[in-house]
Amino acid sequence: MAWYASLPTCHLATGMLLTDPHGRVLLVKTRYCDDWGRPGGVADEGEPRAWRVARRSTRNWAWTVPVGSLLGVDFVAASGARLRSMIHLVFDGGAITGAPAITVQEDEIGEYAFLPLDTATARMAPATAHRLPRALAARRPRRVA
């Protein structure tokens, strides 16, 4: 038991890659972050990854998106205000068709937009923007980037 307590810990974050029929990427601007990002967030203690992604999509949107394939895994070391390392998992949410009515949880999501890849990466934090083109590339052959 003491050995487990001595192991390093890290946070788990999940995100979903969603596009429209034209290949534009859905990004959100939350009220608590300065930069734009994919829908998702930090997992609760003991929460399975698929539940985490599904919970966030249901909680923040008026529709549920099925959790698809794992597209990417990224590790970020502890630094500055981030006291623990983070592992980021990016899942495929597919292409949104049929133009669902998007209703956001207004206390959490300030803005959202479907953006071309270059515009989307320019709005994201430099430390996270690299995940987006890698996830899109992994979607094509169905492999993890």
> Can you give the CATH number for the domain in which 83 is found?
3.90.79.10
Tens digits of residue pLDDT in 50-74: 666 655 555 556 566 778 888 999 9
Total domains in the fold of the chain: 1
Evaluate whether residue 36 is within a structural domain: yes
Mean pLDDT value across the chain: 82
* pTM of the predicted model as reported, rounded to 2 decimal places: 0.83
d(CA 50, CA 11): 16
Q: What is the pLDDT of residue 42?
A: 81
- 3-state SS record for 51-95: HHHHHHHHHHCCCCCCCCCEEEEEEECCECCECCEEEEEEEEEEE
Domain with 21 in it = 2-139
What pLDDT does residue 56 have? Answer: 59
**Strand pairing class (70-76; 40-42):** unpaired
Structure confidence by residue, pLDDT tens digits, 40-54: 888 877 777 666 665
